[in-house]
Structure 1
Amino acid sequence: MGWKEAAAPVLTRMPAVQRPEGHVPFKRKLAWTAGILVLYFFLTNVQLWGLAGGGDDLFGQFRALLAGAQGSVLQLGIGPIVTASIVLQLLGGANLLGLDTNDPRDQQLYQGLQKVLVVVMIFLTGVPMVFMGNFLPPSQQLAQSLGIGILGVQALIFAQIAVGGLLILFMDEVVSKWGVGSGIGLFIVAGVSQSLVGGFISPFGQPPEASLLKTWIAALTGGIQVPPLLTGEGIAFVLIQLQVLDLFTTLLIYGVVVYAESVRVEIPLSHARVKGARGRFPVKLIYASVLPMILVRALQANIQFLGRILYSQMGESMPDLLGVYATSGGSVYPTSGLFYYLAPIHGRGEWMWWLGQTAAEPWQIAIRVLIDLTFMVIGGGIFAIFWVETTDMGPEATARQIQNSGMQIPGFRQNTGVIEKVMERYIPQVTVIGGALVGLLAVMANMLGTIGNVTGTGLLLTISITYKLYEEIAEEQMKNMHPMMRDMFGD
């Protein structure tokens, strides 16, 4: 008996959000999406009961990308979901699962297996976060008043973040089945957009860490001293202190992503039975979208998570070969060793050694930048391929979708195999190029800096997801205006 038969009784009975039986009206989809978004913001502001303080955020610079909020019920964010997806995609890519996603029963097994893995990742991530180090410090006072000890309070904190991890899993499922887009994308956009808006107009903070608007007002009114603009010091002040470089990078990334989303190879289609009915199948440059970047960055986040856990347990006795850690501003970060070289670049200060914000040697910085670029470019291409294959966007699935809709490619026989061969000329190559391009853009944005200190990957994801949401909304409106189009879109 294979693993599928043995696990089927459990996996097929996993709790799941019921799929709509028919077409969901666009207004109802918007209502579900807005409701889940409101619930998400509410839960990020529900603080963990029994917590003595905010603690040190283990996710650090990855927080905006992994959603959630430090010290809240959604402490884990989408981390367990993304990590489970990485494991499943790697197993599926190596063909170790033996699941056919076109078979409804195998689809159910796949979704059940994903939920089981999410629960496993909640434990693997949550247990070290609560019971090791001082990442979520328990309240001594509560332990004494309830008489359950520190261990009891830690168990309460873990139970809360575990419930939050399960809630965000089902919230994502609700949006995917009843709303517009995906819940994961929605939560990332929500978190990054908060940072972007705050980086533009927030009235809090002091220059140069303050928002762009407040810093410029301070410079114009004499609140901060501006050196002569025609000197090297003045140019550096304008670019860095007045955040002009941040603004330029943000607008540049926005323009490049929007342009890349519009670059496509359009394969002509015609209806086999309806004369004159024609269309085009677009193969975009960023065919797999930028969502595979979540997987790449999440893999890096888990590597850094492991390093922090090891340091919290071993302290100064940790071998220098693995990592040497320092503390600044309440956050702990590697300054040398393996975990330093595997850490992505998060800002200008981490590679512009002449600014005096890093003690690393130029050759160390060069190695770290090269590793980050390699990780993102090659990883972006690999995960883009996995993403396309597991989301039914590959040549075979696309050919089957075109065939089922009654369309064909003019000049070719109406046969799934023939259409698949045509698609194989474009989809695999474009997928790899698009994934590598997105990885390169993400590293570039991180190195130059962005408004609100948003990570390059977070900015890319927000722009691309918002663009795709716009396209999905237009598609939904088209379906409502022309119900016959639902067959073409596979509704």
Structure 2
Amino acid sequence: MALSDILTSLPSVAKPDRRLGFKEKIKWTAITLIVFYILGEVTLFGLQKGPTGNIFGELQIILASQFGTLITLGIGPIVRSSIIIQLLSGAGVLKFDMKSPEGKATYMGAQKVLAIAFTLFEGGILVYSGQLPVDPGLASSIGVGSANFLLLFQILLGGIIIIYLDEIVSKWGFGSGISLFIAAGVSMEIAWRALSPLIDIGGKAAWIGQGPLIGAIPNFVSKFEFIRSPSLAVGQNDMLAVTATIIVFVVTMYAQSIKVEVPISYGRIAGFARRYPLPFIYASNMPVIFISALIANLRFWVAILQNSGVSFLGTIDSSGIAHGPIRYILPYGTLAKDVILGLPVNVLHGVVYFSVLVLGSILFSKLWVSVSGMDAASLSDKLSEAGMQIPGFRSDPRVIEKILNRYVPYLTVMGGAFVGALSAGADFTGALGSGTGILLTVGIIYHLYEEIAREQVLEMHPAIRSFIGEGGVF
């Protein structure tokens, strides 16, 4: 049996055998989201009680991870497997015919196998390196080896569930599981850090005790009468983070609405003409997801190497703060606050982080457009199959491709650079939920809104499907 046959025969979520209605898609999306939240509340059985270090640090929220639970690795393995497959495909090492069902199935199978392998590998490293210590009582009763294996099995189980939840959303719901889980995690984090009335006591939430309130807004209100300096108020009460969150939200919404419109007409109906919108952020938020996952992976390996006595890439202390070279590619969340308060600013850190996000986003933007069928050639085929053509030209996909090539390559690069720069700039503000997290969430919700609106139109006016098709080129 060939490798491609094995990959296509892997268990997968079946596609619906009928067109799903709006309510049914909403139902499956909601069910998947509820299951994801439940997984994040289930602590690994056999894990040592008490606080555990977070190896992903501030990047945990972007990975939709809850360290020490069934979703300890979050979407990390899925994203990393996708990066590897894309790089190998782009280099010509692996070849997938994304236009055929068999080629798509082989691609998805390869990504699934690699994601499971990453889950097993990274979970094993976390368990056997001591990042996830076993409970001493359990270890003494069943043995350290068995206790470690039990932890690893739960991480693997959680990782596999995440993989299939992503597939369920992609086929039965709205959007993708990866995007949905990121948006859910960031939204919860923003609500918690902005509005929580609980007290922060040594990193733990409590109703009674001495300490600042967790929510930035309640904390600001409670201390307002004691504040004399506006700049001190910003520094002490984190209202800068709340303000930055609003600004990042507005700027991202505006950027999502920028489009380049290409005139097209429907060849089968005279006089039917419209404009096909090409979004400025052409590759959406996928480039930032990929580069953030790559940075999180590097932080992961720095922590593992540190446990082995290797620290040439840097170190991470018990509070999760990075030191050494690795810190320069990690978010610089206090830059704006340091400038406002007149504190020393690490310019090199800001420049390096900004450059890494911009260049990395450009690279992954080009890769994503290539493998996801968003390039000019693939898009022209879809438009041509839907009966579309460029006004004033004969109906030929090559003509459409030529026109699209005036825009798509440039939007790919400029959109990737812009989204990387916006993400880095948002991170500098120390916005709630991280600047990158807000950027991703706004983009995800915006595209989700567009997809839901389109689905409602199709359900209300079924005749429109004969023009735009089930796949939907608009």
Common fold by TM > 0.5: yes
Per the alignment, residue 394 of structure 1 pairs with 375
Matched residues in 2 for 1:116 and 1:32: separation?
Answer: 24
Q: 2:354 aligns with which of 373, 386, 405?
A: 373
Secondary structure, aligned partner of 1:484: helix
* 1:117 Cα deviation after fit: 0.6
What is the root-mean-square deviation of aligned Cα atoms in Å? 2.0
- For residue 227 of structure 2, what is the aligned residue in structure 1? 226
Who is 1:81 aligned against? 78
Partners of 1:405 and 1:490 within 8 A in 2 = no
Describe the superposition over 1:412-452 as per-residue Cα deviations: whole angstroms up to 9, x where unpaired: 2110111001001011101211111111111111111113x
User: Are the structure 2 counterparts of residues 198 and 410 from structure 1 closer, same or farther at C-alpha, using a change threshold of 3 Å?
Assistant: same
Q: What is the aligned partner in structure 1 of residue 206 from structure 2?
A: none
In structure 2, what is the equivalent of residue 13 of structure 1? 9
Which residue of structure 1 lines up, in the alignment, with residue 308 of structure 2? 313
Which of these residues, 233, 239, 244, is aligned with residue 238 of structure 1? 233
| Identity of matched residues, % | 36
Does residue 324 of structure 2 align to residue 333 of structure 1?
A: no
Q: Which residue number in structure 2 is paired with residue 203 of structure 1?
A: 197
Q: Deviations over 1:457-484 (max 9, x none)?
A: 1110101101111111000001112223
Residue identity matched to 1:450:
A
2:408 corresponds, among 423, 427, 431, to 427
Does residue 111 (structure 1) correspond to residue 111 (structure 2)? The answer is no
- SS at the partner of 1:70? coil
Q: 1:344 & 1:445 partners in 2: Cα distance? A: 10
Pick one of 302, 319, 329 that aligns with 1:342: 329
Q: Deviations over 1:162-205 (max 9, x none)?
A: 00000000000000000011111110111000011112211113
Cα distance between partner residues in 2 of 1:484 and 1:100: 32
**Could you give the per-residue CA deviations for residues 209-254 of structure 1, whole angstroms, max 9, x where no partner exists?**
631321232134x4xx212xxxxxx132232223332222212111
Structure 2 equivalent of residue 136 of structure 1: 132
1:274 to 261, 269, 278: 269
Q: Distance in 2 between the 1:302 and 1:150 partners?
A: 27
Residue in structure 2 matched with residue 230 of structure 1 by the alignment: none
Bigger mean CA offset, 112-121 vs 162-171: 112-121
SS where residue 198 of structure 2 aligns? Answer: coil
**1:194 and 2:195 are equivalent in the alignment:** no
Kept after mapping to 2: 8 A contact 1:240/1:246 = no
1:167 is matched with: 161
Distance 1:382 1:398, change over 3 A: same
Indicate conservation of the 8 Å contact 1:401/1:490, yes or no: no
- 3-state DSSP of counterpart to 2:112: helix
**Mapped contact 2:46–2:150 kept (Cα < 8 A):** yes
The amino acid across from 1:169 in the alignment is I
Contact kept in structure 1, 2:334 and 2:430, CA below 8 Å: yes
Q: Is the 8 A contact 1:208 1:241 kept in 2?
A: no
- Determine the C-alpha separation between the residues in 2 that align with 1:199 and 1:58: 21
C-alpha distance in 1, partners of 2:149/2:33?
A: 28
Residues 1:459 and 2:438 are matched in the alignment: yes
Q: 1:91 to 1:322 in 2, by over 3 A?
A: same
Q: Tell me what 1:26 maps to.
A: 22
The CA deviation at 1:367 is 2.4
Number of the residue aligned with 2:366: 385
Q: For residues 73 and 309 of structure 1, what CA distance do their matches in structure 2 show?
A: 20
The structural deviation recorded for 1:489 is 4.6
1:216 aligns with 2:220: yes
Q: Quote the offset at 1:52 in angstroms.
A: 0.8
- Counterpart in the other structure of 2:429: 448
Q: For residues 33-78 of structure 1, what are the alpha-carbon distances to aligned partners after superposition, in whole Å with 9 as ceiling and x for unaligned?
A: 0001111111111111001134211111111100131111111110
One-letter amino acid of the counterpart of residue 449, structure 2 = Y
1:102 to 2:103 alignment: no
* Cα distance between partner residues in 2 of 1:489 and 1:69: 40
Residue pairs, 1:270-309, within 5 angstroms: 270-309=265-304
Question: Which range moved further: 113-122 or 238-247?
Answer: 238-247
Distance 1:423 1:291 in 2: 21
Shift of the 467–278 alpha-carbon distance from structure 1 to 2, 3 Å rule, reads same
Tell me if structure 2 keeps the 8 A contact 1:372–1:443. yes
Q: Give TM-score, length-normalised by structure 2.
A: 0.92
8 Å contact kept, 2:235–2:341: no
Give the counterpart letter for 2:57 in structure 1.
G
TM superposition shift of 1:406: 0.8
Asked if structure 1 preserves the Cα contact closer than 8 Å seen for 2:53 and 2:131, the reply is yes
Aligned to 1:483: 462
Change (3 A) 1:95 1:485: farther
- Write the distance in 1 (CA, Å) between the matches of 2:470 and 2:94: 26
Paired residue for 2:245? Answer: 250
Where 2:462 maps in the other structure, the secondary structure is coil
Q: Which amino acid is the alignment partner of residue 212 of structure 1?
A: A
1:288-329 Cα distance to aligned partner (Å, 9 max, x none): 111221100100111111110000121xxx35x432x363xx
CA separation in 1, counterparts of 2:118 and 2:446?
31
Q: Match of 1:403?
A: 384
Residue of 172, 175, 186 corresponding to 1:181: 175
**In structure 2, the residue corresponding to 1:14 is in which secondary structure?**
coil
Amino acid at match of 1:424: N
Separation in 1 of the partners of 2:431 and 2:326?
24
In structure 1, what is the Cα distance between the partners aligned to 2:427 and 2:469? 37
3-state DSSP of counterpart to 2:97: coil
| Cα separation, 2, equivalents of 1:383 and 1:485 | 35
Taking the aligned partners of 1:265 and 1:84, their CA distance within structure 2 comes to: 32
2:217–2:239 contact (8 Å) kept in structure 1? no
Q: 1:19 touches 1:177 (CA, 8 Å); kept in 2?
A: yes
Shift of 1:279: 2.4
Tell me whether 1:61 sits opposite 2:58 in the alignment: yes
Most deviating of 89-98 and 405-414: 89-98
* Amino acid in the other structure paired with 2:439: L
Among 449, 452, 456, the alignment partner of 1:470 is: 449
Amino acid at match of 2:329: L
Name the SS of the counterpart of 2:68 in structure 1.
coil
Provide the C-alpha distance between the structure 2 equivalents of 1:74 and 1:177, rounded to a whole number of angstroms: 22
- Structure 2 counterpart SS, 1:267: strand
5+ residue gaps, structure 1, are 228-233
| Partner Cα distance (2:316, 2:418) in 1 | 33
**Structure 1 counterpart SS, 2:72:** coil
DSSP-derived class of the 2:276 partner: strand
Aligned length: 459
Structure 2, unmatched stretches of 5+, are: 201-210
